[in-house]
Amino acid sequence: MGKTIAICLGRLIFGAVFVMAAAFKFADMQSTAGYIASAGFPLPLFLAWIAAFFESALAICLLTGAFFSEAALLAGIYVIFLAFSFHGPSRWSGNQAEFGFFIDHFTFLAGLLFAAVHGPGERLAVRVGMLRSETGI
């Protein structure tokens, strides 16, 4: 019972993080686009919309358990991309908080990798995915 509760809480936390991220983007897409532009990316408004829908899809997968391992792996790649793109070494000079934000992404990655390997748990999970247990994931 304790294991099930811990897994469900973990999934809820992962899902909530991506729900909040997507909600902030949808609430003020122009600010998100401005932030993306400040990092030097082209087509910032387009990328902001893509990020919002991608984060929404990740949240759905992580909350329901459908394509859970695949979503956790993609989320891990995304989180590290965000760490380097928006909080990387070029932003550390004169702003120690940026280094902390950068490191926090790796903590999140660790949890996502653990989740990807162990799956969504036995309860409250939709059993859909492309990765099979024989692949080791």
H-helix or E-strand spanning residue 90: none
- Burial of residue 105 (CB within 10 Å: 0-12, 13-18, 19+) is buried
What type of residue is 71?
A
pTM equals 0.88
pLDDT band at 129; cut points 50, 70, 90:
confident
pLDDT at 2 over 90: no
User: How does pLDDT run across 55-83, given as a tens digit for each residue?
Assistant: 999 999 999 999 999 999 999 999 999 99
Distance CA 57, CA 42 (A): 23
